[in-house]
Amino acid sequence: MATALDTARYLVLLSEQQEEAEPVTNLRLQKLLYYVQGWSLAARQRPMFADRIEAWRHGPVVPSVYAKVRNESQPIEVADLGVPDSLSEQDERFIHAIWDHYKKFAANELRRMTHAERPWRKAWGNLAPDDSGNEVITPESMRDFFIEEQARQANDGVRIQDLRDAEAELAAGQTVSLAELEASLGDGV
């Protein structure tokens, strides 16, 4: 199984390989890790990494990765975290597909999105917006939410079966981007 740190390293590597409207900061990275984990739990029926995700004031956070890059607003570079060393080719392709879908969102937009989603809201509970929280966002709550999200986005976004099909194709050596998957949704697949 991949580690959250190697997943983060790969996301940062992808961000450096493409022109970005907004660099990857710790705040943005934490939300991207949440989406990789959520979609992996739903589409692949397994976590991408074993590290826990907690509900913090600004959204989901993987504490083990946060500790490596404490400053939330400074851009993160590959030199800051290093290169991934525990990702399989299949994991890299899956992370890349999620990256392709979420890279268009700035940190504050990702923060807003995660605050509106049930896994973070449930873990945050009745805490006030300016409180400090660290309740675990359970893998079960993430899996259930992302499976439901897939159904809601059937015509607009990521579909679980498309991700499963893409993973099978990727494992067979074929490459499929999430953009290609999204384009196929228009065909009523």
Helix (H) or strand (E) holding 170: helix 160-171
Cα–Cα distance between 95 and 164 in angstroms, integer?
13
Cα–Cα distance between 155 and 142 in angstroms, integer?
21
* Residue 84 belongs to domain spanning: 4-185
Cα–Cα distance between 78 and 90 in angstroms, integer?
21
Structure tokens at 123: 């873990």
Domain count, the chain: 1
Percent of the chain with pLDDT over 70: 80
pLDDT (tens digit per residue) in 5-47: 999 999 999 999 988 879 999 999 999 999 999 999 999 999 9
Is the per-residue pLDDT at 175 higher than 60? no
Q: Are 32 and 114 in contact (CB under 8 A)?
A: no
User: pTM score, two decimals?
Assistant: 0.81
Give me the half-sphere count of Cα atoms (radius 13 Å) on the Cβ side of residue 146: 28
